[in-house]
Amino acid sequence: MSSPTRPAASGASTFLAAPSRSLRFGRFSTRLRPRHLVVVAIATLLSLAVAVVSAGIGDFTIAPGRVLEVLAGQGTRREELVIITIRLPRVLVALAVGLALGISGAIVQTTARNALASPDLLGVTAGASVGAVAVIILGGHNDGKVSGLLQSIGVPTGALVGGIAASALVLLLLRGRATSGLQPILIGVGVSALLGGLVSWMMVSASISDAARANVWLTGSLNGRSWNELWALLAVLAISVPLLIPLASRLGTLDLGGDVARGLGVPMLFTQGALLLVAIALASATTAAAGPIGFVALVCPHLARLASAASRPPLVASGIIGALLVVSSDLVARTVLAPIQLPVGAITALVGAPFLLWLLIRSRREVRR
Amino acid sequence: MTPSSPPTPGPHSTDVHESPVLETRGLTVQFGTTTAVSDVTLTVAPGSITAVIGPNGCGKSTLLRAMGRLTTPDGGTVLLDGHSIAKLPTREVAKSLGILPQSPLAPEGMTVGDLVSRGRDPHRRWYDQWSSSDETVVLESLRRTGMSEFADRQLDSLSGGQRQRAWIAMALAQGTDILLLDEPTTFLDVVHQLDVLELVTELHREQGITIVMVLHDLSMAARYADRLIAMRSGRVIADGHPTDVVTAAMMETVFELECEVLSDARTGRPVVVPIGRAAAEGAR
């Protein structure tokens, strides 16, 4: 029996009718929040529009309408080379990176019950930086002792291994302890600071050109990204997102705090562990593809929560808003000082840092209230 | 040493409609080197309403949390219908036992309706998030707790008493036979304390829910509970009907409180009138 919407509520209580509706297909049912759907729809349309515009802009500018025609297979060989071979993978990588970072950030903020938490605090970024910078600097030139092996590993793999190793260390230190409150954040800050020191040490001992390359990577950049990076990212997304579908329904309960969630029958260790692992996988994959792009994972969940008027960041909206933010920032980074291409992380930081300050000031005011 | 507790019933009733029995056997909880709960054995009879009392730090809250599997005991077991609660799947436990921790905090911006809906969690699968029976239970829980008109309001905008009613509505929506409440009246003024305890006893009376609650107000505990468990330093000192437990001598032993115990003419329950600290020699 399928009744698409619930019958009208009787009496004064209409809360289930107004902010949410349920949808049922046989044994499957879900609750829909119209405002969340509107936010997702608008953000999706905007992301795609920016992606099309971005694919058309550059040394050889093509109007958005013509971009769509080229994508439909009606372009000249030259247009196809510019759009499909050069610009499209970069734009799609931007969308995928933003999607993964937004979802990852929303998971970490809800699981840690901390509005200022982000996957960075799990050591992902710092570990990936150590891995990538080690490959760039120690494996960069012919003088290196370890160059052969490190060069064959490649920067993305170095970042991936470093990110996963560092977050494993953080999870190990967190083991058996409360995942809410100040302690996990302090552990994350401590591990990140330690690894940051390692990065600085490698940078100081590197040649100027290696240090410059490492610095571009450390800011987070989409320059020259190709289909290979995209396939790797899509593979991680294709594994992570299905895992999230059963876990996502527990996020709202986790948000009530550990004691209440346990009382409601949520197996905490398994649920939190699985959610954090997915968040780490998503964040590590983006760092491997594009370097540590700052603030997206922190800011997008807040934007999604505020836009959807929800009590916790909705996963889908956080992801789509992440995609919109990264693809827009990349467009700006590529064009504002053309022909110089800024790293996309510089733009997200310029947008994200003021927002972070605003959040801090706002939360301090709430504490005082 | 464990005081005499009601005799442990034999193999429990096979009647499926009977509420489950909650028992502790030699329950011990330690925090580092301090023992919060020491060798407590007791049985909570189905359909009873019990209050655990005792001075701050006596282990009453820890006992309740261990009974609700929020704290893992260092010794002994908690049995739900004869099965160790630690070995049962936590979701199964959540279908027959609800626990409301002390002053829980809802996320900013959450509405009462959303909070109460969360109570249905143990009954739904990830692929089946909302059914009309969930909805019926949630609306009924809101109605019973007098929160229907506040369903769309955010918890932050409510008074302390209303907020506590909303949390109780969530626990009610969980539809359990046993409900453990950790200091449900903390931070409430006397009118709202009465209000919340009236609600709890009403739910107990009308739906036969077994209640175990930690309370700090002796007269309130004596008025609303059928059974009082008095604790001191992790041990149960007295256990029985309020008129037997709340005596001047017992209050001196448990709380080091010198007091006069009167009898409330309307309820027949004891009322504690504090005089001063009992330990001081020259108090009189």
The average pLDDT across B234-259 equals 90
For residue B64, count CB atoms less than 10 angstroms from its CB and return exposed for 0-12, middle for 13-18, buried for 19 or more.
Answer: buried
d(CA B74, CA B38): 10
The nearest alpha carbon in chain B to A33 belongs to B114
pLDDT values of chain A reduced to their tens digit, one per residue, 369 residues? 333 433 333 333 344 444 455 666 666 666 667 888 899 999 999 999 999 999 988 888 888 888 888 888 888 888 888 888 888 999 999 999 999 999 999 999 888 887 778 888 888 888 989 988 888 887 755 444 445 555 556 788 888 889 889 988 888 887 756 555 667 778 888 888 999 999 999 888 888 888 888 888 888 888 878 888 888 889 999 999 999 988 888 888 888 888 899 999 998 888 888 898 899 889 988 988 888 888 899 999 998 988 888 888 999 999 999 999 999 999 999 888 877 888 888 899 888 788 778 877 776 555 443
Residues 6+ positions from A148 with CB-CB distance below 8 Å: A139
DSSP β-ladder status, B210-214 and B49-53 = parallel
The average pLDDT across B256-273 equals 89
Element (H, E) at B41: strand B34-44
Determine whether the interchain pair B99/A263 forms a contact, defined as Cβ–Cβ distance below 8 Å.
Answer: yes
Chain A CB contacts of B129 below 8 Å? 22, 29-31, 249
d(CA A311, CA A250): 14
Strand, helix or coil for residue B54: coil
Residues 6+ positions from A45 with CB-CB distance below 8 Å: none
Determine whether the interchain pair A18/B152 forms a contact, defined as Cβ–Cβ distance below 8 Å.
Answer: yes
Taking residue B136's Cβ as centre, other Cβ atoms within 10 Å add up to 10
Taking residue B266's Cβ as centre, other Cβ atoms within 10 Å add up to 7
> So what's the pLDDT on residue A150?
58
CA distance readout (Å), A283 to A197, A304, A321, B163, B212: 21, 18, 16, 38, 45
DSSP β-ladder status, B270-277 and B257-263 = antiparallel
Q: Taking 70 as the threshold, does the pLDDT of residue B138 lie above it?
A: yes
Complex-level ipTM: 0.84
A127 sits in the region (left: phi over 0; alpha: psi -120 to 50; else beta) called alpha
The nearest alpha carbon in chain B to A363 belongs to B108
What is the DSSP code (8-state) at residue B281? G
Answer yes or no: CATH 3.30.460.10 is held by domain B22-283: no
User: Residues, chain B, total?
Assistant: 284
Q: Structure pTM? A: 0.83
pLDDT in tens, B197-244: 999 999 899 888 999 999 988 889 999 999 999 999 999 999 999 999
* Closest approach of A333 to chain B, Cα-based (Å): 35
Name the amino acid, one letter, at B260.
E
Separate counts of helices (H) and strands (E) for chain A: 15, 2
> So what's the pLDDT on residue A234?
92
Place of tokens 């960069």: A140
Determine whether the interchain pair B70/A312 forms a contact, defined as Cβ–Cβ distance below 8 Å.
Answer: no
Residues 6+ positions from A286 with CB-CB distance below 8 Å: A96, A97, A100, A101, A104, A233, A293
Determine whether the interchain pair B114/A31 forms a contact, defined as Cβ–Cβ distance below 8 Å.
Answer: no
Chain B CB contacts of A4 below 8 Å? none
- Tell me if A151 sits within 8 A of A219, measured CB to CB: no
Q: Taking 60 as the threshold, does the pLDDT of residue B8 lie above it?
A: no
The alpha-helical segments, DSSP class H, found in B23-86 are 60-67
pLDDT band at B25 (very low <50, low <70, confident <90, very high): very high
CA distance readout (Å), A303 to A325, A327, B121: 10, 16, 27
- Point out the least confidently predicted range of A59-68, B12-21, B123-132: B12-21
> So what's the pLDDT on residue A58?
83
Using a CB–CB cutoff of 8 Å, tell me whether B156 touches chain A: no
Q: How far is CA A118 from the centre of its chain?
A: 9
Tell me the two tokens of residue A143.
């003088």
Residues 6+ positions from A183 with CB-CB distance below 8 Å: A174, A177
- Point out the least confidently predicted range of A90-104, A143-157, B49-63, B73-87: A143-157
* Bond into A156 cis (ω within 30): no
**Which class is domain A34-360?**
mainly alpha
Q: Taking 90 as the threshold, does the pLDDT of residue B65 lie above it?
A: yes
